[in-house]
Amino acid sequence: MRSFTSEALSHQERLLIGQKLAEFGDPRPGVGLRQDGLPDIARIEIPQGRLTLQAVDHIFEVKPFRMAKYPVTNSQFQVFIDDGGYGNNAWWKGIEKIAAAAEPRWKDANAPRETVSWYEAVAFCRWLGYRTKSTIRLPTTSIEENQAPSHLLCRQCRLTPRSFAHVSEVPYACDSAFR
């Protein structure tokens, strides 16, 4: 198993390993479902610190927060769909309501769900927060809250918003700050 986490693996080797894990039911924490059927979101602690932005010649104080360690996967997002996520207006309050999920290009259960708009990501986080009785949201660009801009915290966007491909600040869906 140690060789699976090796930095020396090529992208093609990682893809093949991921596909094989999906075939057999990927057991890794954070990419599947919990025993209760809800998404298993593994989180990491992001420590407090300073972030220097040379482009704007400013130093931001970043408060500590938790963020999802892995992309939201097809199997995790499917639970939102199956639970009526697109039909429940509560998840879409104040945002554009999307009628139905787009078909993912990557079909494996453990593959990142990459065909989700920002609106869908917000609805998913609201739904998951309600179901887990926790606060789950997308990272913000709120400098007033002394947080760093989300595009700097979220370089490896997990759910690529299809309708916001032109936006430089693409949020993770549930690679979100947990407070």
| pLDDT single digits (tens) 36-77 | 999 999 998 988 888 777 777 788 888 888 888 888 999 999
pLDDT tens, position by position, 26-44: 888 999 999 999 999 999 8
Report the predicted TM-score, pTM, of the whole model to 2 decimal places.
0.73
- Residue ranges per domain, the chain? 2-164
The phi, psi pair for 44, rounded to 5°, reads: -120, 150
Distance of CA 31 to the CA centre of its chain: 11
The per-residue pLDDT for range 151-171, each reduced to its tens digit, is 433 333 333 333 333 333 333
Amino acid sitting at position 132: T
- Please provide the DSSP assignment of 127-148 as one string: HHHHHHTS--------TTTT--
Coil, strand, or helix at residue 62?
A: strand
Can you give the pLDDT at residue 174? 38
Please say if the pLDDT value at position 84 is more than 90: yes
Residues 6+ apart with CB under 8 A from 123: 80, 85, 86, 91, 92, 95, 98
Task: Tell me the sheet residues that pair with 43.
Answer: 68
Residue 29 in 3-state DSSP?
coil
- Matching residue, tokens 């065909």: 115
The long-range contacts involving 30-38, CB below 8 angstroms and separated by at least 24 positions, are: 30/68, 30/69, 30/70, 31/70, 31/73, 31/75, 31/76, 31/110, 32/73, 32/75, 32/76, 32/109, 32/110, 33/75, 33/76, 33/79, 37/79, 38/79, 38/128, 38/131, 38/132
Q: Quote the pLDDT of residue 50.
A: 86
